[in-house]
A and B are shown apart, each in its own frame.
Chain A
Amino acid sequence: MLTTAPRLRIRRPSPTTAEFTVTTLPPRTLPLRLLWLLLLVLRISLSLVALLILYARWVQERSSFGGATAQLPSSSSSPPPPPLLSLDRLVFALDAFQSTPAGTLLARIAASVSLPVLLPVAAAVFYALSLRVHKEESLLVLRGLGVQTSESPATYLAGAATRFIPTEKIQDILVNEAFLGFEVRYYLVVVVEGEENVVVVFPGLLPRRKIVETVWRGVRECLYEGRGEDRVDKSGG
């Protein structure tokens, strides 16, 4: 529901510059926005819970390492809360949370799992929570400069991976077909001069033939059509 089949979006502010974006993001509607919001809240709250469990475990470890003596006097008399917007205040709030029923529940969970299990599980949870829902891959075509492929990374933490290929290096841009798993797919490739591997455009989404052909035509038009040099060549030869 959160993603659609890959669809094409074209931005073309001037005839010589175009950006072709293939995305699985569905068009924004109100229910969808609400769903996004819900998902965001869910993600944040889940990661908070994971953090709190880790904190509880850390407190337990600290107290078992002889920090218990230091803890005793502070628990006997409750000092006034430190000023707002300071690190001490945060620690104070966390300690206060530890004594609530939810906090004790989390602490019990943290205590029941052994450390070599807890840490990788927490890391995996954080990774899973930072995963992107939809994929987006784009091709930016600039006449006179070159083409640039980019793909959205798997998580929200990393930036987009881009690859710029100057026009001089572009040997050809073509549509090819190849086996992928149990299918034969069409894909767009840029053949780069002096390189052993071709660059596949939209490598993760591999959109359908219609989109690939549209992009291919668009790229050729944007890069080459009506160039001054070509016209000179024709008139000369």
Chain B
Amino acid sequence: MVEHDGLMRVFWPTDIRKSDRTGVVVGWRNSTLDVFVVTILEDVDVRPSVPNFSPSKSPSLASSQSGLMANTSTRHLQAHNVEFHLRSGTFFRSSPHSPSRIYELCGHSSMHVLGVSNAATQDAIDPSWVCAKTSTYSRYPRISCAKASSIQLILYDRPHPKGMQYISLNPIALALGDKGTLPEDVASSEDDSEEAKQEKAMKENRRKLVEKLKQHSIVRRVASARDKALPKIVNQVNWSWELEQALQQNVGRLGPRPKRGLSVSERVVESATTMRNYVLVQLWTLFSVYLFPIVQKAFVLVLLFHRMVAEIFLIILEFRAKPGYAALKDISATAQQTEIRLQQFCYWPMQYVTLRQRKANWASVTTSHPDYIRFYNSLWLVANDVIIGMAVGSYIIEHKDWVADQIRDLLRTYTVEALQRGISWLMGWPAGLKLNGELAAFLGDLFLWVIDYWSSCIETLSPMLPHIIWFIGFSSFAGASMPIAMFSDLLSVLTLHIYSFYLASARIYHWQLTILRSLFHLFRGKKHNVLRNRIDSCDYDLDQLLVGTILFTLLFFLLPTVMVFYLNFAIARMIIISLKAGFDTLLSCLNHFPLFALMLRLKDPSRLPGGIHFELRDTHYPTSPDANDNLLDETPTSIIYLKNIPLPFRDMFHQYFQMAHRIRKHYLSPRVLLCLVTGQFVPPINRKNLYSLQYSMLPARRATVWEMWRAVNTEIDIPQKKPFQMPNIPQLQNGGKRPTGFGRTRS
């Protein structure tokens, strides 16, 4: 054997039946000394009449068979018998789905006989076979193998596939990973691309470092077959429960079991269940043949109509006059929120169809579990949103006058009176600063006049306010996120004047700074070379220098006056932006709280695998009076327990951290501070960035109406193809009669 370094690895399920009876160990043989135990078939009987029994695997065994004790020869026969049946697929003859999927995922063309358990003698069994010794007393089996010089016994808990438990090497991904670049990415603003460039350069640097690190490895070790088997083994662990069920159910096919006729009471129970099943099936046929298709057709048509309407709305929301212009959803939070809901609505049927396909396969196929969690998470969230929204909505509608009064008061005190007071303060000598009186008076009068005009506008609008509030309250029956989005928009509209003041003062301030800077260069005998983007030396004429210097002095002394006005409005603007950021954060919390995942984590942590984890157990056997003990103790064995790590909470909220990071990077960067100081426009965070959190639950491109129509129609086909499954009958002892036979014969 080439790969023989004496290490035997045995995967052993913890819930295997512990008895003292002999049996055949069945499972997957990944390589010679790397075996994966699925189950022990006990009491499989000798059947010399196996039609084409050919011990092709080990002819030496067959030849030596005759000279052996009867016991060992029967054991051989037993094992080869099992091997034959495993190869011919007898065990899966009655399974609902094709076994080829099993073989594909587990990486073998059939299951193997791995050894024997509780064998009486050790002689003359294949040297690579496992001899397991189980008993009802000891917690761990004792493994021995003729070829092995050391043994890793790895115990694993079988995940329950019907309960959607599984293990995986990598943490389950709760967001959709396959994001294409959206077309809007092209039109992102320049400073963003600057940041992106920096980030890219950093990433490139890191990549180079990683490349360099590779050169530091002295020996490149080739992974052995055992090392590479790990993903396969994970699949085998996931399949282990279903395979064991199939094997144990069909073990009777191998031949007559220790025979026992059905007792009278059992026969009564059986005939009663047969009768019950018959009636149920008749009723079900009636329903499924006549009533169900009509209901379903109607539902699909209604769904499609809604989908069309949604499509129209979505087109309106996403309409751009020119590529690169802002669409409606980029401007207004309400539009954005509506769009998200509509998108979710468009995605649900597709998701549901995907989930239905899961039913058509073995339960152990784990690829669709994240889809399941995503689908129900978004359903739960919408339901939750609506429930909270109803409470909020009814409160707002009942107290609409009070709410309107409050809003009006707030508006008057903070956006009009406080502003007026601030401006008149600045027109005096604020905080002892001696500003230029004339300029301050001019600017102050200008702004005060606009505020007066604006407040009169607000006054005429105020009788309308209760109606608007009522509308907002009513809209909250579509979810609590709706009124939040609307309040956010309302805030933008009602503070329009502050926004325009900010823009105007920032413009003036920025102009002045730019002029000052170029005059300062003139002062030093330099100039800014626009073509080369650098500072050149330059010889100026005397009159140029004179006028430039006078202008520089003038503007420099006027700067503080303009600056205080600018700062005043910039601060007001920053407050509004942070309020809106607060609203946006609240919205994304409502829209993307991993509620379902959290509940699952509490209910059944093994449904959210976050990787695997091994635990070294102490090895000590209870002393038993068996004579073979010395032989067993010779091979050093380490007992390792394979466990599933549930997804950590940190990973669940990963996207929240990401969003917090993004907001922090956008607003707390030195760039924003620089913009503020130099009077450039501080852009609010790109909605696309902020909302990518929510879009991460949705595919990059939504399915068209036609695709949905096709998907929904194929969905109808699936249940017809599928055989109807009977309600589970309590399994009879001994498994003498297979329970689901009736239902299957009809299909």
A11 touches B616 (CB 8 A): yes
- For B616, list chain A residues within 8 Å (CB): 11, 13, 17, 19, 140
- For A17, list chain B residues within 8 Å (CB): 150, 152, 616, 638, 640
Stretch among A27-35, A111-119, A121-129, A163-171 lining the B interface: A163-171
Decide yes or no whether A145 CB sits under 8 A from chain B. yes
In the complex, besides A17-B152, A230-B221, 5 extra interface pairs with C-beta distance below 8 angstroms are A13-B619, A145-B154, A162-B613, A228-B2, A233-B222
1/0 per residue, CB under 8 A from B, across A139-160: the answer is 0101111101000000000000
Chain B residues 615-674 with CB under 8 Å of chain A are 616, 619, 636-640, 645
- For B222, list chain A residues within 8 Å (CB): 229, 233
1/0 per residue, CB under 8 A from B, across A206-237: the answer is 00000000000000000010111111110000
Chain A residues 46-61 with CB under 8 Å of chain B are none
Decide yes or no whether B227 CB sits under 8 A from chain A. yes
- For B223, list chain A residues within 8 Å (CB): 167-168
A145 touches B217 (CB 8 A): no
A13 touches B228 (CB 8 A): no
- For A163, list chain B residues within 8 Å (CB): 611
- Return the 6 tightest CB-CB contacts between A and B, nearest first: A14-B636, A17-B638, A144-B226, A13-B638, A167-B227, A228-B5
Decide yes or no whether A15 CB sits under 8 A from chain B. yes
B4 touches A228 (CB 8 A): yes
Closest CB in chain A relative to B127 CB, distance in Å: 16
Q: Which residue of B lies closest to A17 (CB)?
A: B638
Closest CB in chain A relative to B538 CB, distance in Å: 48
Closest CB in chain B relative to A83 CB, distance in Å: 32
Q: Is the interface of B mostly helix, strand, loop or mixed?
A: mixed
Decide yes or no: A144 and B640 within 8 Å by CB, A11-B616, A167-B223, A226-B5 being known contacts.
no
Decide yes or no: A229 and B34 within 8 Å by CB, A164-B613, A164-B614, A168-B230 being known contacts.
no
10 CB < 8 A contacts A-B: A13-B616, A14-B638, A19-B616, A145-B154, A146-B227, A191-B213, A228-B1, A228-B2, A228-B3, A229-B222
Decide yes or no: A171 and B217 within 8 Å by CB, A166-B227, A232-B2 being known contacts.
yes
Closest CB in chain B relative to A28 CB, distance in Å: 17
A142 touches B614 (CB 8 A): yes
Decide yes or no whether B306 CB sits under 8 A from chain A. no
Decide yes or no whether B9 CB sits under 8 A from chain A. yes
Q: Which residues of A contact B (CB under 8 A)?
A: 11, 13-17, 19, 140, 142-146, 148, 162-164, 166-168, 171-172, 174, 191, 195-196, 198, 224, 226-233
- From A11, A172, A196, give the contact of B217 (CB < 8 A): A172
Interface centre among A14, A146, A174, A233 (most CB of B within 10 A): A14
**Complex formed: what's the CA distance from A226 to B616 in Å?**
22
Interface centre among B9, B169, B612, B613 (most CB of A within 10 A): B613
- From A140, A195, A229, give the contact of B3 (CB < 8 A): A229
Decide yes or no: A144 and B613 within 8 Å by CB, A14-B637, A196-B206 being known contacts.
no
- For B637, list chain A residues within 8 Å (CB): 13-14
Tier of interface size on chain B: 35 or more
Closest CB in chain B relative to A35 CB, distance in Å: 26
Decide yes or no whether B224 CB sits under 8 A from chain A. yes
Closest CB in chain A relative to B171 CB, distance in Å: 12
- From A15, A144, A233, give the contact of B636 (CB < 8 A): A15
- From A144, A168, A195, give the contact of B7 (CB < 8 A): A144
Decide yes or no whether B216 CB sits under 8 A from chain A. yes
Closest CB in chain B relative to A166 CB, distance in Å: 5
Decide yes or no whether B151 CB sits under 8 A from chain A. yes
- From B206, B228, B613, give the contact of A148 (CB < 8 A): B613
Decide yes or no whether B603 CB sits under 8 A from chain A. no
Closest CB in chain A relative to B148 CB, distance in Å: 10
**Complex formed: what's the CA distance from A207 to B144 in Å?**
38
- From B4, B9, B169, B213, give the contact of A166 (CB < 8 A): B169
Q: Which residue of B lies closest to A223 (CB)?
A: B221
- For B640, list chain A residues within 8 Å (CB): 17, 142
Decide yes or no whether B210 CB sits under 8 A from chain A. yes
Decide yes or no whether B57 CB sits under 8 A from chain A. no
Closest CB in chain A relative to B620 CB, distance in Å: 10
Decide yes or no whether B534 CB sits under 8 A from chain A. no
A227 touches B224 (CB 8 A): yes
- For B2, list chain A residues within 8 Å (CB): 228, 232
**Complex formed: what's the CA distance from A208 to B2 in Å?**
40
- For A148, list chain B residues within 8 Å (CB): 613-614
Decide yes or no: A16 and B227 within 8 Å by CB, A144-B34, A172-B217, A228-B2 being known contacts.
no
A145 touches B614 (CB 8 A): yes
Closest CB in chain B relative to A178 CB, distance in Å: 14
1/0 per residue, CB under 8 A from A, across B190-210: the answer is 000000000000000011011
B227 touches A168 (CB 8 A): yes
Q: Which residue of B lies closest to A21 (CB)?
A: B616
